[in-house]
Amino acid sequence: MKFVDLFSGIGGFRFGMEEAGHECVGFCEKDKFARASYKAIHNTEGEVEMHDITSVSDELIRGIGSVDVICGGFPCQAFSIAGKRQGFEDTRGTLFFEIARFASILRPKYLFLENVKGLLNHERGATFETILRALDELGYDAEWCVLNSKDYVPQNRERVFVIGHSRGKRTEQIFPFESPSRSTDIQRNEIDIIGSVRPIGSNRWGDKDVVYNAAGITGTLLATDYKNVRKIAIPVLTPDRIEKRQNGRRFKKDGEEMFTLTAQDRHGIMIAGRLPGSHDQNSRVYSTEGIAPTLSTMQGGGQEPKIIQKPRGYNKGGKHEIAPTLSANSWHENNILQDGYVIRKLTPREYWRLQGFPDWAFDRAQKVNSDSQLYKQAGNSVTVPVIYDIARRLV
């Protein structure tokens, strides 16, 4: 089937749809950096290219021709539920209206939409009701489901997916279906936080301050993560062996990035939040600007875990009762927990992997964008394997 990719970003919808055998005929993305990545990754020759969706004329939309599906992970722009009709007219001024406008002109068989889970209860459900009424007025019967990316990749990311079925055209129900949870062979269904790198003096630490456990899953990736990239703790196996191996693979040399999560092998993502134990002070990992007390899961006997730092400056690889500062570039400094973990930041490539993108796509995008933009683009994207699992059911 032919589809139009609205609010296309870097092409998460497109990857899933094309993998399921569908064909893209046009795309729309306002952000020039995301658009650069999209065009570097995908062959868009001969397709209709649109930028600011609010500036796309009805005439241009008609020129797209016949399509079967409109895809769109539209921004959750605030609705003003002040109208009386609570339908199509009440969506004017929102970006959802633009999807509705495309649908009213192109009349596709399906609408395939995505948004944050919070859309369902925004304004106590009034926003979502307005969307459903708008779709009904346009001649679409809607079904929806909340799916979590953690059933496909190691990322906790709940999103609501809406399928609009054109009334009068033969379509089949999509939801519910069983997600391919891999919990039986990979223990990563829960987020495991072992420490925090929160600033000194802060009474609270948030999602950006934690370090994630390799045996668990990461929190939801956000477009703003480039300001404070998520930290991971990676297990270092057989540290004293001459021929060092990690999960059956060679150890990286000094200066190389550690092995990390892929779709096939999800080694070692750990959340820096809290260590196991009831003692609050001793169970945390500190801090981006100050010093940390000794990390401990056992008291006394000299068995408290220490932090070891690779030879650097005055530390010279020594063990200290007070840990060196965990700084924003600690992944370069190679700070290591004595019980076998190295803490570092996730790389932009790993962010893309956590959204299900292949490395070759990242390599192309990396040639045209900075790391900051690559982090943003991954955080804004949909998770490719989730899109594919839905797209393959569209017939």
Q: Which residues are catalytic?
A: 76
Omega before residue 176 within 30° of 0, cis = yes
Count CA atoms within 13 Å of residue 79 on its CB side: 28
Q: How many CA atoms lie within 13 A of 356 on its CB side?
A: 23
Token pair, residue 324, equals 């060196």
d(C-alpha 15, C-alpha 143), whole Å: 23
3-state secondary structure the chain: CEEEEECCCCCHHHHHHHHCCCEEEEEECCCHHHHHHHHHHCCCCCCEEECCHHHCCHHHHHHCCCCCEEEECCCCCCCCCCCCCCCHHHHCCCHHHHHHHHHHHHCCCEEEEEEEHHHHHHHHHHHHHHHHHHHHHCCEEEEEEEEEHHHCCCECCEEEEEEEEECCCCCCCCCCCCCCCCCCCCCCCCCCEEEECCCCCCCCCCHHHEEEECECCECCCCHHHHHCCCEEEEECCCCCCCCCEECCEECCCCCCCCCCCCCCCCCCEEECCECCCCCCHHHECCCCCCCECCCCCCCCCCCCCCEEECCCCCCCCCEECCECCCCCCHHHHCEEECCCEEEEECCHHHHHHHCCCCHHHHHHHHCCCCHHHHHHHHHHCCCHHHHHHHHCCCC
- Cβ atoms of 375 and 383 closer than 8 Å: no
Q: Which of 389, 385, 379 is nearest to 352 (CA)?
A: 379
